[in-house]
A and B are shown apart, each in its own frame.
Chain A
Amino acid sequence: MIDRKYYWLLSTFIIREIRNRYISSMGGLLWAFLNPIMHLLIYAFVFTYIFKVRLPGMESTYFLGFVAIALWPWLAFQEAVQLGTVAIKGNSDLIKKAALPYDILIYSRVVAIFFVHTIGYALVLIIINLFVVPLHLWLFPVLFLWLVLQLLLTAGLVLLLSPLHVLFPDIEHVLPPVLMALFYATPVLYSAEMVPAKFGVMLSINPLALYFETIRGVMLSGIPGIKGATLIMAACFVAIFVIGRWFFSRLSPYFEDFL
């Protein structure tokens, strides 16, 4: 995938990415964990006490666990797409001065974000398992495989978006509302069953809907979720990654021209 001699560079960059985000902040890496927790608590409060959302046949604390399982992967996805897209332009100094394979800048950023959130995720799953709702933690390796697949999808999207961002900086401003719309169109805060039938098409055209339902099934119901539909989804994710790589390598020789 990447020239062997660049593995060292990639690992250096991943560490640098993690450090860059939290260097010179007092909380340091703790923010990577606290930030999703704050999201979770806000959503839980608004939805259980103000909107009074009740999951069919479940008590209200269950909602906390229900959302948490999907929230961490979602935040990793959202953050990686948003920050990965601007990674090329943001590193223009480096690109103008040093010879390096530019996809390293993408992979290191996306992997660093996934790495940090996966650790937070694992901690949260343990806490939920202890205090909120019993989870099928022994299926974590399966969940991890799904996360790797999600990483490929995310990297693929970023490989498509970041070259476009070099040419069209507007993407930076379009992305947040698009991601927010995608967030609400994806069953993270709700379950697919709660969606009225007439909006069902919204979920069926959104591959992320199936993905989040699947990982929730792994943890809450102990279903690995490996079946025809999810395998097609997996193939789509890999395809997006392959297309992203092709697109990126096609345009990366010209980055320096536009920065």
Chain B
Amino acid sequence: MQANPVIELKNIGKRYPLATTPFERVRTLYALMRNRDDFASFRALHDISLSIQRGESLGVVGENGAGKSTLLKVIAGVVKPSSGRLHVNGKIGALLELGAGFHPEYTGRENIYLAAALMGIDREQFDSKIDEIIAFADIGEHIDQPIKHYSSGMVVRLGFAVATSMRPDVLITDEVLAVGDESFQKKCIRWMESYLSEGGTLLLCSHSMFHIQKLCQKAIWIQDGEARFYGEAIEVTRQYMAFHEDRGRQAGQHYSDRAKAEAAGIYTVRDLWLESGGERITVFRMGEVFSGQGLIYSPDDCVPTVAIGILRIDGTPIYGLSGDMENYFPNRLASNLYGFRFDLLENLLLPGRYIFRAHAMDTEGMRVFDTLETTFDVVGDSRELGFCQLKHQWMPSGPTVDL
């Protein structure tokens, strides 16, 4: 832990009063005047502690309404926290929403001027920067037209150009990259990368995990106003994506009633687990081998056939086979109960969340009677894309070319 963080939040909380009726408003007013907080309120942020070092870049992820924007606004000084302490040690440039404080009747140039004044830039500094700002915004002759005629992308260009022109110690951007076009996005990302390499501090809120992973070292996942997970950006975004894939999958899934299935007298997968080093676990390091084991109930005590599958969390199949293809059959453990074990000899899966699935089939392997699955995670640092590694090597190019 370094001694002097540029931003420090200690148990920050934010509650919004819910007063709707005039009577409640009077009560709320009375409470506020007495510095009390005994009024009905909505909890937007709760107990967030965070410390950001100079030169660090932090991504903020979370669903809509989770409190990301409120958090950034608290740090930018737009929202006063209801509880906790906030320390900011440096100049902040914030790009919170489209065209903060822009007046539609004024031209782009006049609006830059006002936005600059809001950032504490005085006339002299401003005059020396105006050309640079206009060049960066790159909206051509529109700069001298009222911004009511601008597209939202042009407004963002202007806003970004102003916010970045003074090289703030901390740059806060809330979902602005999403609005600009491809080339402006690239320009912004290039700017941010050079800004970071020169020791700037960046707070980036985005729904694009790609941008977070590319630009941020650390990330925080905000859920229902609380910090759900804070850590390395890659790790946080993976967890966040896994959470969403998980949820998307659950929405379309219906669980079979196990007890009913057994009572009906069919082949049933009674248990399924993953083991590594003799322990039942669900999180594996990259490359760590494991086995999938389970129990199958056989109503007529005949040997069942087992099939297994490994899928990505969103249901994309990666690998699957049935035991009888390789002449494997579960071994009998007790009457009507068989066990199986599938050893993965080499684990090439990339970090992410996966499903391990087992099917119980009849002796002939003709018909699937039951399916049981379990999820597992592979963790680790890798920038490779896809589901699993393919054996490969890089070589010098073959043909020689005369230059």
Binding site for B on A (CB under 8 A): 5, 8-9, 12-13, 16, 20, 23-24, 93-100, 167-168, 250-251, 253-254, 256-258
Contacts and interface: CB of A to CB of B under 8 A. Distances in A.
Contact of A98 (B25, B29, B101): B101
Interface string B257-283: 000000000000000000000000000
Interface in B1-46: 16-17, 19, 22, 25, 28-29, 32-33
8 contacts: A12-B114, A16-B103, A20-B105, A24-B105, A98-B78, A98-B100, A99-B76, A99-B92
B100 A8 contact: no
Contacts of A5: 120
Question: Which of A94, A98, A168, A250 has the most CB atoms of chain B within a 10 A radius of its CB?
Answer: A98
Interface in B107-133: 113-114, 117-118, 120, 122-123
B117 A9 contact: yes
Nearest to A167: B25
B188 to A, nearest CB: 19
Contact of A8 (B16, B76, B122): B122
Nearest to B122: A8
Contacts of B122: 8
Q: When A and B form their complex, which 8 residue pairs have the shortest distance between CB atoms, in order from nearest?
A: A97-B100, A99-B77, A12-B117, A253-B80, A94-B101, A8-B122, A167-B25, A98-B100
Contacts of B77: 99
A20 B106 CA distance: 9
B78 A8 contact: no
A9 B113 CA distance: 11
Contacts of A8: 117, 120, 122-123
Main secondary structure of the interface of B (DSSP, over half): mixed
Given A12-B114, A167-B19, A257-B16, 12 more contacts: A8-B117, A9-B118, A13-B117, A16-B103, A16-B114, A20-B105, A24-B105, A94-B100, A98-B94, A99-B94, A168-B22, A256-B80
Contacts of A258: 17
B261 to A, nearest CB: 54
Given A16-B103, A167-B28, A256 B118 contact: no
B135 interface: no
B279 to A, nearest CB: 51
Nearest to B174: A97
A20 B19 CA distance: 33
A191 B121 CA distance: 50
B181 interface: no
B289 to A, nearest CB: 53
Given A168-B22, A251-B32, A253-B80, A100 B123 contact: no
Contacts of B25: 167-168
B97 interface: yes
B205 interface: no
Nearest to A13: B117
B33 A257 contact: no
A41 B103 CA distance: 35
Contacts of A168: 22, 25
B236 interface: no
A258 B32 CA distance: 12
A97 B80 contact: no
The A contact surface, by secondary structure, is: helix
A8 B16 CA distance: 32
Given A12-B114, A99-B76, A253-B80, A167 B29 contact: yes
B79 interface: yes
A2 to B, nearest CB: 13
A88 to B, nearest CB: 14
B254 to A, nearest CB: 43
Contacts of B113: 12
B202 interface: no
Contact of A256 (B19, B22, B78): B78
A29 to B, nearest CB: 15
Contacts of A256: 73, 78-80
A100 B118 contact: yes
Interface in B80-102: 80, 92, 94, 96-97, 100-101
Contact of B78 (A16, A99, A251): A99
Contacts of B22: 168
A20 B96 CA distance: 24
Given A97-B96, A253-B80, A256-B78, A23 B105 contact: yes
A250 B312 CA distance: 55
Contacts of A23: 105-106
A160 B304 CA distance: 82
Contact of B118 (A96, A98, A251, A253): A98
B168 to A, nearest CB: 12
Contacts of A9: 117-118, 120
A5 B130 CA distance: 20
Nearest to B116: A12
A93 B32 contact: no
Contacts of A16: 103, 114
Nearest to B44: A257
A99 B77 CA distance: 5
Interface string B41-82: 000000000000000000000000000000001001111100
Contacts of B78: 95-99, 256
Contacts of B100: 93-94, 97-98
B172 to A, nearest CB: 10
Contacts of A100: 118
